[in-house]
Structure 1
Amino acid sequence: MLRLSTFSIAARCERTGMFGVAVSTAVPGVGTLCPFGAPGAGAVATQSWVNPYLGIDGVKLLAQGMSAEETLRKLLADDPGREDRQVGVVDSKGGSAAWTGSQCVPWAGHITGDNFSAQGNMLVGEATVEAMAEAFTKAEALDLPERLLVALEAGQAAGGDKRGKQSAAIKVYHTEEYPYCELRVDEHRYPVAELRRVFEVARHQLFPFVQGLPSRANVLGGIGDDVATMLLKPPPFRPGGGGGTV
């Protein structure tokens, strides 16, 4: 299994009911294997000698109404490799739980609080996890995607992965089964900084579009004329810029 020596935060927004995960590591494509979530249920971050089924099965257990602690206990009981794992879980009520196995490479540990679990392994030091927890707590006025990004930026500034940097991702669910926000930097020299750049483009161009997509409650959706007009322009001429022309 791939060792995602990683720092991440799984969280819930009490105000909007969004759930999500932000993560960065010195391995390509972390967004494919670490962040999991579901609307109305919760979020799971799985890392170290990563077992993706802890995320897949964890979200299913949360959707059945299990608490974060119950979910984590069940996941670990069923995984003989638990000492190699690191997992953070947040449930529908904002409860949180985390596990750092004894075989995770130092520095490794976690901090849990209301509506979040911050965790990391193979880090420069515990300051990375402490910075994520503090930044998330202080940024409660922000919507969850940016709040997670602010926490990730704080973790990187405090040291991050002691091997270096390579990929980063944010995944957030709101009311629908598809993500409200799924942004990934799969391979980059400065992945968290690049994720911020991508986020700023998505803030202007993607999020307004997603808000008008079909939903379970409104099959037709409702893309506004202003959003449609904006998306007909070449990317560099839209708010936020980005992309290129033919």
Structure 2
Amino acid sequence: MTFSLVARCAETGMFGVAISSSSPAVAARCSHARAGVGAVASQNVTDPKLGPMALGLMEGGASAAEAVAEVKRRGAFIEYRQVLAVDGAGGTAIHSGPNSLGIWTQAQGDNVASGGNMLAHDGVPGAIVEAFEAATGHLGDRLMVALRAGLAAGGEAGPVHSAGLLVVDEQPWPLADLRCDWTEACPIEAVAAAWEVYKPQAAAYVQRALDPRAAPSYGVPGDE
């Protein structure tokens, strides 16, 4: 009941995940990324353990393909799972179990992989990958362009209600972790709107964490 992509920015080394689903709070269960290591989406009858497992394997030196192969070996009920991974070299790998729900399929390129289940048709992941590869700018922008393209291509067979954008850069915490956990409107547009507000402030939030003395003002009432 989900479509997603994992991606790496070849210029900056950032990693990210963008995802949407008819289920509530999809990003809380399915989106995983680690600075300097990679990004993973674990979806379809989700086992949230698989994302950290794959990232741990990649941090230990495994490629995306090797990590996904090991996840397939170790994971329980792996025939029900979809796992997408991208590594530090831009390599990608996808496992889609035969018991994935509804119409399910996947697509890959350099630095990007997309997969989905309960899709309107099997062309959605390909449209996502093509849109990501054609997009420019910040990784967060490219991820949102691609997620919107997946929705425009048909998305899920039914309406989506949650979405998320996760981006990691140089720090051990996310540069951005934005979510819409439930809406009857469009969750992708809700996350896109949040990203447009957050993107210009993202570097300032990092600076405040590293050294608040050098950080810009907070820009809120009472800040002097």
What amino acid is aligned across from residue 172 of structure 2 in structure 1? E
Taking every aligned residue pair, what percent have the same amino acid on both sides?
A: 34
* Counterpart residue identity of residue 175, structure 2: Y
1-structure distance, mates of 2:125, 2:221:
41
- C-alpha displacement of 1:56: 1.2
- The answer on 1:232 being equivalent to 2:220 is yes
Other-structure match for 2:202? 207
The 5 Å alignment of 1:156-167 reads 156-167=151-162
Deviation at 1:233, TM superposition (A): 4.9
Structure 2 unaligned residues grouped into runs of 5+: none
Cα distance in 1 for partners of 2:220, 2:27 equals: 29
Scaled by the length of structure 1, the TM-score of the pair is 0.86
Matched position secondary structure for 1:164: coil
Instruction: Provide the residue aligned with 1:82 in structure 2.
Output: 78
Provide, for residues 85-141 of structure 1, a one-character-per-residue CA deviation record: whole Å limited to 9, x for no partner.
0010000110000011100123101111110111100000122211100100001x3
Distance 1:119 1:222, change over 3 A: farther
1:153 aligns with 2:148: yes
Matched, 1:138 2:130: no
| Structure 1 equivalent of residue 12 of structure 2 | 16
Three-state SS of the structure 1 residue aligned to 2:71 is helix
Q: How does 1:89-104 map to 2 (within 5 A)?
A: 89-104=85-100
Equivalent runs, 1:35-184 vs 2, <5 Å: 35-139=31-135, 141-184=136-179
Q: TM-score, normalised by structure 2?
A: 0.94
Q: Deviations over 1:44-86 (max 9, x none)?
A: 0000011101101111111111100000000010113111000
Specify the code of the residue in structure 2 equivalent to 1:164. Answer: P
- Report the AA paired with residue 94 of structure 1: G
**Greater RCO (Cα-Cα under 8 Å, separation 6 or more):** 2
**Matched residues, number:** 221
Structure 2: distance between partners of 1:195 and 1:147: 13
Assess, with a 3 A threshold, how the Cα gap between structure 1 residues 222 and 131 changes in structure 2: closer, same or farther. farther
The CA deviation at 1:211 is 3.7
- Partners of 1:181 and 1:147 lie apart in 2 by 14
Aligned-residue offset at 1:214: 3.1
Once the two structures are superposed, residues 165-220 of structure 1 have per-residue CA deviations (whole angstroms, 9 ceiling, x without a partner) of: 1000000110001000110011112101111111111123x3142242334xxx55
Aligned to 1:240: none
Aligned partners of 1:30, 1:98: CA distance in 2, in Å?
A: 19
* Conserved 8 A contact 1:214-1:222: no
| 5+ residue gaps, structure 1 | 235-246
Letter in 2 for 1:85: R
